[in-house]
Amino acid sequence: MLFNLYKLPRLARGFLFSPLAKRAHSSPISMRRELLFFLLLVSLLSMAQPSQDCEPDVVYAVIAPTGLRMRSKPSTQSAVVVTVPYDSLVIACTETFGAFQTKESKGYWRFVQYKEYQGFMYDGYLIPRNRSGQRRISSLPNSKEEAIAEAADFTAQEMIPTPPPPALPPVDFTLATETYNYCGGVEALNPGLNWYGIYPPEPLSSEYRMEKVNVMIVLSQQRMSEKMEFDIRTDREDKSIFLVGSAKPLDRGTVLYLTEEMQNTLPLSLYPGQSGAIFARAAAESPQNIQLEALGSVTAGGDCPTLSNYQLLISTHIGQEKVQQEVASMIRMTDACGVPELLWFGDINADGYADALWASRTENSAQFALVVSQITEDTIWVLADTWNIQSCD
C-alpha cells in the first residue's frame, strides 16, 4: 500500500533523511536493523495516533446550543482546538474514530474541518446537511478555503428545500396534585389520560424524574368538614411534586438537572427588582434559557404583602431575535398574597425551552398554574392548566 511521505510524523521523516539512515547503506546488517527499527516506529506511531487519511466529504451542522468543542484527538481529555458556534457548518469524514456516549446521546468521534481548523468532534451534537442519495462534497483539490466555499454552496444550492416551520409543541396538558381531603370539582380529573408524576431528586442526585403513574380518586376516610372530600393518589409510594396528564404519551426520563445550590432556592419568589434564569434540562448557559425579571413595588408587608403594578417579564431568543412577554397576569390570582412562587421548571413538551409550575395563594385557597413553552415572535409561555385547592372549612 502506498503512503504519503509528507503525512508521516516529523520524527519518522527525520529518521529517513538523517545521516544515520544514509550510513545504513554502507552495511547490509546495519541497514536491516535500521529498517526494522523504522518499521517498528511507524507501527507504534500509527497505533498511538488515529489515522486522519480520510477525506472530509459530509456536511454537518452544530446543534449544541452553547457550541461544540473541536479536540486535537478523539478524546475529551485532549486539547481543545476551537469551539464551533451553534448552527455552524463543518465538513466531516464518513469514517469514525471510536464510540462516545453522554447522558443524553450516543455517537462517534469524527475528523472534521471548520474554516482553517481541523480536529475531532463528537457527532452526537451534529446533524447531517447532505441530501440522501446526492453527491457529497468533492475532495479538497486546491485549498481548504475552496472546500469550505463548496460546502456552503452545496448546502445552499442542493439541500432539500427548506421545510415548513415545525409544528408547535403540545400545550394541552392537564394539571393536578396528589391531594388529601380535596374539596374541589374532582369530576374534571380524568384518570384515563396518560398521567405522569414529576419527582424530586433522589439522595446524592440532582435529576428530577418524570415517571408514568396511575391516578386514583378515593373517597377520604377522615373528613375535615361536611363537604364531600376526596384523596387523589397514585400507585407509587413516593409522592410527586405534581401530576401532568396528556392524551398522548410523553417522553419519559430526566426532566430537569439542578445543581444543589439551585435546589435549595426553590420555591423561588421574585419580588420587584429581583431576577433569575431557568432552563429546559441542563444547568448551562444557552440562548434558549428563559430570563425572569420582576417589576413593581411592595406597598404593604406582613403575612400577605400587597404589591403595586407587579409585573413578571420573561425573555429568551429565537436564533438571534429576542422575545419578551409579561406573564404575571397569567400565573397570579388577582387577590393573591404577595408574589407568585416558582415551584418547578423543566421541559415537559420536549422543545428545548423551559416549562414551569407556579403557585399563588390567598388566605384560604391556592392556585397552581402550569405554563408550557410555545415560542413565537411575541409569546414564550401559554397557560396549559390551573389546579385550585380550597380549604374544606
Kindly list the domain boundaries of the chain, sorted by start residue: 5-43, 58-158, 174-390
Q: What is the per-residue pLDDT for 250?
A: 84
Write the DSSP string, 273-323. T-EEEE-SSSSS--TTSEEEEEEEEEEE-SSS-EEEEEEEEEEEEETTEEE
Burial class (CB in 10 A: 0-12, 13-18, 19+), 229: buried
Which pLDDT score, from 0 to 100, does residue 236 have? 92
> What pLDDT, in 10s, does the model give residues 223-250?
767 778 888 999 999 999 999 999 988 8
152-184 pLDDT, tens digit per residue, is 444 443 333 444 444 566 778 999 999 888 887
Average pLDDT in the 180-201 region? 85
Mean pLDDT: which of 142-146, 225-229, 364-368 is highest? 364-368
State residue 341's pLDDT score.
94
3-class SS of residue 109? strand
More confident residue, 39 or 273: 273
Find where cell 510524523 sits: 9
Provide the pLDDT for residue 140: 36
Distance of CA 75 to the CA centre of its chain: 21
Whole-model pTM: value is 0.58
Rounded mean pLDDT, 125-148: 49
Per-residue confidence (pLDDT) for residue 371, from 0 to 100: 96
**pLDDT tens digits, 45-55:** 444 444 566 77
Of the candidates 42, 82, 89, 36, the residue with the CA atom closest to the CA atom of residue 62: 89
Task: Say how many C-beta atoms besides its own lie within 10 A of residue 220's C-beta.
Answer: 17
Distance of CA 281 to the CA centre of its chain: 5
Question: Residue 17 above 50 pLDDT?
Answer: no
30 pLDDT band, cuts 50/70/90, is: low
* pLDDT more than 90, % of the chain: 31
Name 50's Cβ contacts closer than 8 Å, sequence gap at least 6.
Answer: 73, 74, 97, 98, 111, 120
Please give the residue that has the higher pLDDT: either 325 or 88: 325
- CA torsion sign for 313, 342, 388, 195 is positive
Question: pLDDT-derived band of residue 29, with 50, 70 and 90 as boundaries?
Answer: low
DSSP string covering 186-217, please?
Answer: GGG--TTSEEEEEEPPPTT--EEEEEEE-EEE
Average pLDDT over residues 51-73: 81
Residue 20 has pLDDT above 50, yes or no: no
Superfamily of domain 58-158: SH3 Domains (2.30.30.40)
Q: What is the dihedral of CA 256, 257, 263, 266, to 10 degrees?
A: -30
- For 159-173, the three-class secondary structure string (H helix, E strand, C coil) is CCCCCCCCCCCCCCC
Q: Is the model's pLDDT at 186 over the cut of 50? A: yes
Instruction: From 307, 298, 302, select the one nearest 332 (Cα to Cα).
Output: 307
Distance CA 46, CA 42 (A): 6
